[in-house]
Amino acid sequence: MGELPYFVELEQALDICKRTTLQTVVERVGLDDCHNRILAMDLPSKVDDPPFDNSAMDGFAMRYEDTTAAPSKLEIIGTIQAAGQEDNIFIKPGQAVRIMTGAPLPKGADSILQVELTSTEAGFVTLQQPSIKHFIRKKGENLTKGEVALSAGAFLTPSRVGLCATMGHSSIPVIKRLKIAIISTGDELKQPGQKLERGEIYESNSFGISGLVKWLGHEPTRLHCVGDTLDDLRKTLNSAAKEYDLILTNGGVSMGEWDLVRKIMEDEGDLHFWRVKLRPGSPPLFGTWNNTPIFGLPGNPVSSHVVFRMLVAPWIRNATMANGPHEPRATAKLATKVKSTKDCLTLRRVSIESGKDGLFAHQKIHQGSGNIASMALSEALVILQPGFDYSIGDTVEVILL
């Protein structure tokens, strides 16, 4: 073993984490259960979409050449509202059929005019303007049979689940959700709802981290809070390592005497790095405990969220070959002063307002790493490079939350 990488750049931390991989499992689930899951294989369409030429409008179908000298008057020879009704219809010169959105086109028709631009009287329709060819949705214009519309790794958002159904799949091969243990540490922690004694605070990190795990499409379990004793911590880590794919502890990774997660990982675990040049969130560690990957997240609530987003989420996505979910990034102009730091990538919590020259970032809330409201009530994190001084009006990159 070489020397332990200490206080590393975020990129280096991500590289070190990447060397630890996960054995993923593929399972097949029904459409109702595949939301927020990761597609395990390329998914080819079973059908053409649309499967037949159909109308994009409620209106009339006819031959375009009959409508160019508007207003034109055509004879209505039928109505098509559902498949089958077009079978015996052939549009001849001077004729039209009434047609509903999505209904198949009759033979002979090559255009549509929406009902709002027509009037009818005694079996005839009068068109206020020429009919429109692109109001026909052509067979296969969205997807052709066999075409791979979603590739392995796609994160199944609601519209993608709709796309799976459109392609004719009733069940989808997805990556089995990772089972992720969340362990909070600290003698001072009490469960919300209980009465606080002197010196105690409510345990909040595990609830937020649990939400972040679900956001990535995995299965969090909040284990009991561990007090500041090595024995309790060791026991909890041993049993978690047997049952879970990944362990996320929080608290106890700083320099202090009572920072037992750091201590136990140094003495008894397999530690891959400790501390990252990231603010907030410089104390984290990564390694394995009995071969199970473990991130030691900081105890400060904002730090634990930031470290999850910047370090844990990219590693999980990589280890499961997932292409999402990502937070969108954008550029914004600084509307208030924000403070960078000398040697850390610094993330400040800001509100985003949209102005006529683009987005503006306002730092409105006190930025302490213990102040979870600064994260909860903000819309973005501004990314400030180490050693740069930023002024009002500067353009910065932001991560939209």
Convert residues 365-394 into a mask of x (bound to ligand AMP by CB under 6 A) and - (unbound): -----x------------------------
| Side chain identity at residue 227, one-letter code | G
Under the phi-then-psi rule, with left for phi > 0, alpha for psi from -120 to 50, and beta for the rest, what region is 356?
A: alpha
The residue among 59 and 284 lying less far from Mg ion, judged by its C-beta, is 284
Q: Under rule CB under 6 A, which residues in 278-337 are in contact with ligand AMP?
A: 298-301
Q: How far is the CB of 299 from Mg ion (least distance, A)?
A: 5
72 interacts with, out of ligand AMP, Mg ion, none, CB within 5 to 8 A per kind: none
Q: Which residues pair with 179 in a beta bridge?
A: 219
CA distance 253 to 294: 12
Q: How far is the CB of 209 from ligand AMP (least distance, A)?
A: 9
Instruction: Rule CB under 6 A: choose which of 39, 136, 175, 189 binds ligand AMP.
Output: 189
Instruction: Rule CB under 6 A: choose which of 5, 59, 220, 252 binds ligand AMP.
Output: 252
- 129-137, 202-210, 271-279, 390-398 -> range binding ligand AMP (CB under 6 A): 202-210
Cβ(327)–Cβ(310) under 8 Å?
no
- 27-35, 57-65, 182-190, 351-359 -> range binding ligand AMP (CB under 6 A): 182-190
Give me the half-sphere count of Cα atoms (radius 13 Å) on the Cβ side of residue 87.
4
The residue among 5 and 299 lying less far from Mg ion, judged by its C-beta, is 299
The residue among 217 and 251 lying less far from Mg ion, judged by its C-beta, is 251
CA distance 48 to 78: 27
Q: Given the rule CB under 5 A, which residues bind Mg ion? A: 186, 251-252, 299
Residue 283 C-alpha from the chain's centroid: 27
- Pair of tokens at residue 269: 């675990």
Cβ(308)–Cβ(315) under 8 Å?
no
Q: Is 27 in the site for ligand AMP (CB under 6 A)?
A: no
The residue among 66 and 228 lying less far from Mg ion, judged by its C-beta, is 228
CA distance 296 to 184: 10
111 interacts with, out of Mg ion, ligand AMP, none, CB within 5 to 8 A per kind: none
Q: How far is the CB of 185 from Mg ion (least distance, A)?
A: 6
Instruction: Rule CB under 6 A: choose which of 201, 373, 377, 392 binds ligand AMP.
Output: 201
Q: How far is the CB of 354 from ligand AMP (least distance, A)?
A: 33
Instruction: Rule CB under 6 A: choose which of 66, 86, 203, 245 binds ligand AMP.
Output: 203
Q: How far is the CB of 260 from Mg ion (least distance, A)?
A: 8
Write the CB contacts of 205 (distance below 8 Å, at least 6 apart in sequence).
184, 250, 251, 297, 299, 301, 304
CA distance 33 to 176: 12
How many residues in the shown chain lie near ligand AMP by CB under 6 A? 19
- 82-90, 126-134, 139-147, 250-258 -> range binding ligand AMP (CB under 6 A): 250-258
Cβ(73)–Cβ(55) under 8 Å?
no
- Residue position matching structure tokens 């791979």: 148
Write the CB contacts of 99 (distance below 8 Å, at least 6 apart in sequence).
55, 58, 59, 60, 61, 79, 80, 81, 105, 106, 112
Q: 3-class SS at 233?
A: helix
Q: How far is the CB of 204 from ligand AMP (least distance, A)?
A: 4
Residue nearest to ligand AMP (CB): 299
Q: How far is the CB of 234 from Mg ion (least distance, A)?
A: 16
Q: Under rule CB under 6 A, which residues in 151-180 are in contact with ligand AMP?
A: none
Q: 3-class SS at 214?
A: helix
189 interacts with, out of Mg ion, ligand AMP, none, CB within 5 to 8 A per kind: ligand AMP
Cβ(284)–Cβ(311) under 8 Å?
yes
Q: Is 254 in the site for ligand AMP (CB under 6 A)?
A: yes
CA distance 401 to 397: 13
- Number of C-beta neighbours around residue 95 at 10 A: 22
Cβ(140)–Cβ(49) under 8 Å?
yes
Q: How far is the CB of 298 from ligand AMP (least distance, A)?
A: 6
The residue among 133 and 224 lying less far from ligand AMP, judged by its C-beta, is 224
Instruction: Rule CB under 6 A: choose which of 24, 79, 142, 204 binds ligand AMP.
Output: 204
CA distance 352 to 296: 31
* Interface contacts to ligand AMP, rule CB under 6 A: 184, 186, 188-189, 201, 203-206, 250-254, 298-301, 370
